[in-house]
Chains A and B, each alone.
Chain A
Amino acid sequence: MNIIVCIKQVPDTAEIRINPETNTLMREGVPSIINPFDLHAIEAGIRIREQLGGKVTVLTMGPPQAETSLREAVAMGADEAALLSDKAFAGSDTWATSYTLAQAIKKLGSDIVFCGKQAIDGDTAQVGPETAEFLDIPHISYVKKIEEVTDNTIRVQRLMDEGYDIVESSLPVLLTVVRELNQPRMPSLKGKMAAKKAEIKKMGITDIEADENSLGLKGSPTQVRKIFAPEIKAERKMIEGTPEEQVDNLIKELREIKCL
């Protein structure tokens, strides 16, 4: 079983603050992490390998420093790691990113491709399904449980609005996963040693035989026109006093607005 897990190195958005004077992001000192959903994707890949054998390859597209995230994935238990890095990939939107990842996955070969549901910086959730389309394989989004995997089929639970679907697919398939799927393991000591020594396969434009016009900014249909701080508006009334007084006054207000 060849399993590929696509991961992304992202800034920890929970740590990001806005500079109130310039209305810009303050990213200094914000740690780079593996996108949290992708940790569950890595875990899922490792568990299937443990059950059926084969190998898990982690794949990321990004600048050279994304290598640290690949090594972390190897420390968790991935067998191989590949870094898609080329100046030609810069400025890719989800269309161009998916095209590029798909070209690399075709080279690496896969039975199951795992992605996190979405990355916490862009929050688009588009790269998984778009990559599946470029690979011409089916995909299942929001996988919350893997019920059964055989050499040529898989049955999973897909999270929907008011419950879940039980979905079956042939292999190869691409799955995007949600947090409920599993508890990602911590790197073992042995894993950390392996991560240090691991050879990172570097892939650029010629390695994936990509159409140059479909890459990076040039290949991206969408453009970012403007970035701005979200508007926040409110008139606020503070309710003060002892807890007893606060509660009584709040109840008065709740009556006023007919909440009581």
Chain B
Amino acid sequence: MPVIVKPDKCTGCETCLDSCPFDAIEFKDGKAYINEYCNACMTCLPVCPEGAIIETEPGTRNMEHRQEIADYKDVLIFAEQREGKVASVSYELLGIGKKLSNELDTQLIAALLGAGEPEARELIKWGADKVLLCSDSGLERFNDDAYSGVLAQVINEYKPSIVLAGATPIGRSFIPRVAAKLRTGLTADCTSLEIDKETKNLLQIRPAFGGNIMATIVCPDYRPQMATVRPRVMKRGEYDENRRGEIVHVKVENPVSRTKVLEFVKEVSGISVNLHEADIIVAGGRGIGGEKGYKMLEEFAEALGGSVGASRAAVDEGWIPYSHQVGQTGKTVNPKVYIACGISGAVQHLVGMQSSDIIIAINKNPEAPIFNVATFGLVGDLFEIIPLLTKKIREAKGL
């Protein structure tokens, strides 16, 4: 174990027990010991009043595969495109990428697969110094094998220090393959990225345990440092019509793939599920009580001109379809107004919506944690409040 408890110093006070995010501390015969769950995060070390928890093998990390870190310099972002159009997360990556590359005093490179020069030029206007463009027609449609092969190839050639991709269905599917190929670390779904002032390493910050805690992850001995970044969290960079950059055409030899996409089926349900674009979201939780409550929310959302969201509880109960779910395992949204109806406010829900401009909480329990993040709070019965609200909004709008 990289961390152990010195039994002679341990008084069995159990102070350390709750400090462990991995459940790696157990008590046997009145003494603490560290089990196999230990991730060597060192959180418990300063917690022990006796100083009984120590790091045993600080020098045991594997240096054999360590890459020549000094050879890796730039920041590279994977610019995702769908049907030839650059996805908005790519511009967000250019925003954060620019910030990081400025701090490191290096170039910002974008890798664009399966699109053309006009899209590449857009990326430059949004901040890229260089675009590696691979226009091969075999890359127009997303494909894990082909995409991971090409991206690994350009990373090996250009040796960026940092590689960022969107934590979208596409990024989260193929980027792990790239990290496995390159024998380097990958941090999923980051919500914040910073440069460590001393080491110049990338600090990758992300929620874990259903959003109950945040973790800072580093990849000090391997390059590149790779991360997927949660969409709609980072700000876009500045658009400059006159910015100049270089477009490099990348040649690949017939990208091969063992999987084949036969067809894309677009699914748009009746009421807008496009929570990402919505200005107003009306979301329901366990408090809506059933499908009837969902109907009531739909009417409310319709009157307001908003979309319907849901907490995991309401989705797990089967009252609202998964595509509406907001939170750690659902969507991250930041509308102008978020109205939480009968949602208690578990942390895993809050991480998906707390960046909304205005949050209105309606809940019968005045102690519900949702009120801690609310701009306006209404304690009461939502089956009284919401129909009344819907009626008055309709009147106000002349509907």
Contact = CB atoms under 8 A, between A and B. Distances in A.
5 contacts: A18-B213, A125-B172, A141-B172, A220-B185, A221-B221
Contacts of A237: 375-377
Interface stretch (B35-43, B233-241, B242-250): B35-43
Interface of A: 11, 13-14, 16-19, 22, 24-28, 62-63, 85, 87, 89-91, 93-95, 98-99, 118, 120-130, 132-134, 137-142, 155, 157, 159-170, 173, 178-180, 213-214, 217-230, 232-240, 243-244, 246-248, 250-251, 253-254, 257, 259-260
Interface in B53-71: 60-62, 64-65
Contact of A224 (B180, B217, B312, B348): B217
B267 interface: yes
Interface string B347-386: 1101100100011100000000001111111111100110
A162 B277 CA distance: 13
A13 B212 contact: yes
A254 B357 CA distance: 13
B211 interface: yes
A24 B18 contact: yes
A157 B261 CA distance: 10
Given A222-B186, A246-B380, A133 B176 contact: yes
A159 B169 contact: yes
A129 B176 contact: yes
B266 interface: yes
B209 A16 contact: yes
Nearest to A248: B392
A130 B209 contact: no
Interface string B28-47: 00000001111111010000
**The 4 nearest A-B residue pairs measured at CB:** A221-B185, A13-B210, A222-B185, A133-B180
B267 A163 contact: yes
Contacts of A238: 371, 376-379
A150 B360 CA distance: 52
Contact of A14 (B1, B40, B41, B346): B346
A242 to B, nearest CB: 9
A15 B136 CA distance: 49
Contacts of B18: 19, 22, 24-28
A222 B218 contact: yes
Contact of A85 (B36, B211, B214, B359): B36
A213 B186 contact: no
B81 interface: no
B82 to A, nearest CB: 8
A63 B215 CA distance: 22
A62 B145 CA distance: 29
A235 to B, nearest CB: 7
Interface string B165-209: 000111011101101110111111100000000000001000111
B208 A221 contact: no
A101 B351 CA distance: 31
Contact of A236 (B17, B169, B268, B376): B376
A251 B217 contact: no
B144 interface: yes
B208 A22 contact: no
A250 B360 contact: yes
B388 to A, nearest CB: 5
B174 A218 contact: no
Given A19-B18, A221-B185, 6 more contacts: A14-B312, A125-B176, A223-B219, A226-B216, A234-B359, A251-B392
B203 A160 contact: no
A224 B347 CA distance: 21
Given A27-B18, A237-B376, A246-B378, A87 B267 contact: no
